[in-house]
Amino acid sequence: MPKPKPRFDSKREHRITMEIVVDAYNEEERAMGWYCYLEEQLRFPFEARIRQAMAASPLRPSETVSVTGLAHDDLCRVGIFVWVRWNQRDLVVPLAQLVPLKSDESTRVAVTDWHYWHDQGYAF
């Protein structure tokens, strides 16, 4: 069953439009806007819980991982991916799959912004 879209959030929409993807006129510019925003806002490492299973990842709901960094910007041109430490392995997984547990406020807000964008079905 598909997950329902989150409620429209005008404050978050404004921040995304005016701060993250402002002056982004194509897919690559939107991807780079998100990448730069997240690079500035995320504080690594942080602990996260898996919020949903995804085909691009072996992680399962309720597991926890240590998020150690953003993936290379070339990979993040199709979505936002991060490095995690899981079962003594380093993996690259979608940020949309993770919920910060132990992190600072800027990390929580930035991840929530990405979840909102992703869950609304927006694309680069």
pLDDT in tens, 34-85: 999 999 999 999 999 999 999 989 999 999 999 999 999 999 998 999 999 9
Q: Do you find a cis peptide bond into 45, omega within 30 degrees of 0?
A: yes
- Would the CA dihedral through 107, 112, 113, 115 be positive or negative? positive
Query: Domain limits at 110?
Result: 10-120
Kindly report the CATH number assigned to the domain that includes residue 43: 2.30.30.530
**Position 4 in a domain:** no
This prediction has a pTM of 0.91
Distance between CA atoms of residues 5 and 114, nearest Å:
13
- Is residue 4 over pLDDT 80? no
